[in-house]
Amino acid sequence: MGIYRDQVVPRLVNLACGMKANDRERARVCSGLHGRVVEIGFGSGFNVPFYPEAVRSISAVEPADLGWKLAAKRLERAKVPIERAGLDGQALPFADNSFETALSTWTLCTIPDVAAALSEVRRVLVPGGTLHFVEHGLAPDAGVQTWQHRLNPIQNAVAGGCNLDRDIRGIVEAAGFEIRDLDVYYAEGPRFLAALSLGVAVSA
């Protein structure tokens, strides 16, 4: 299980997340990031080319050593300082009010205690700071939802704890964020996996 989690899952993530088809979402979600940014679930750094100039620094939070290693080329080319500053979104090693903006892409599906992670993100954002997110999750259609619930245990087992059926809007709001923009739509690919929520939420 350790080898699968440490060696196989980060490579699967690297393949799936590295698809060019995701670039449109990455460009959209990174737009408006500024100042000090905390990125939870940094993975292999596929957002790096999309950080806007207004970003001053990135504090990356990523548990997988191999993910961080696979980010090397993108880290070399980065135009802003990026530090692997934490290992677990559920317990962020930062003082309150440390960041102007936060970023999460295809990560809220996987963090075991996602409520704790979002509460941590709120704590470390300045008042009025924003969380930019693009996540796959519970689809808008009942038929697709049924399949998401059915397939969830398999996805969970093969994809390192990833869940297909989390209600992204619901969990972001339950953590005390106010949704400022939200686009819920199907990207390319099988609908049970491609139901995306892309938006910006404000820490009240």
Ligand X SMILES: C[S@@+](CC[C@H](N)C(=O)[O-])C[C@H]1O[C@@H](n2cnc3c(N)ncnc32)[C@H](O)[C@@H]1O
Please give the residue ranges that form the binding site for ligand X (CB under 6 A): 13, 17, 40-41, 43, 46, 61-64, 67, 88-90, 105-107, 110-111
**Facing residues of 102 across strands?**
38, 131
d(CA 83, CA 59): 5
Number of other residues whose CB lies within 10 A of the CB of residue 119: 15
Q: Which residue in the block uniquely carries the two structure tokens 């009025």?
A: 128
Tokens of 179: 């949704």
If the CB atoms of residues 171 and 204 are measured against ligand X, the closer one turns out to be 171
CA dihedral (184, 190, 192, 193) positive or negative: negative
If the CB atoms of residues 89 and 137 are measured against ligand X, the closer one turns out to be 89
Give the nearest distance from C-beta 22 to ligand X in angstroms: 7
Number of other residues whose CB lies within 10 A of the CB of residue 132: 24
Give the nearest distance from C-beta 109 to ligand X in angstroms: 7
Give the nearest distance from C-beta 116 to ligand X in angstroms: 9
If the CB atoms of residues 56 and 69 are measured against ligand X, the closer one turns out to be 69
CA distances from 163 to 6, 7, 83, 148, 191 (A): 18, 20, 28, 9, 14
**Facing residues of 196 across strands?**
136, 185
Residue closest to ligand X (Cβ): 43
Give the nearest distance from C-beta 67 to ligand X in angstroms: 5
Tokens of 106: 């295809």
Give the nearest distance from C-beta 97 to ligand X in angstroms: 20
If the CB atoms of residues 127 and 153 are measured against ligand X, the closer one turns out to be 153
If the CB atoms of residues 188 and 204 are measured against ligand X, the closer one turns out to be 188
Give the nearest distance from C-beta 142 to ligand X in angstroms: 25
**Sequence-distant (≥ 6) Cβ neighbours of residue 17 within 8 angstroms:** 43, 44, 46, 106
Tokens of 166: 């989390």
If the CB atoms of residues 36 and 132 are measured against ligand X, the closer one turns out to be 132
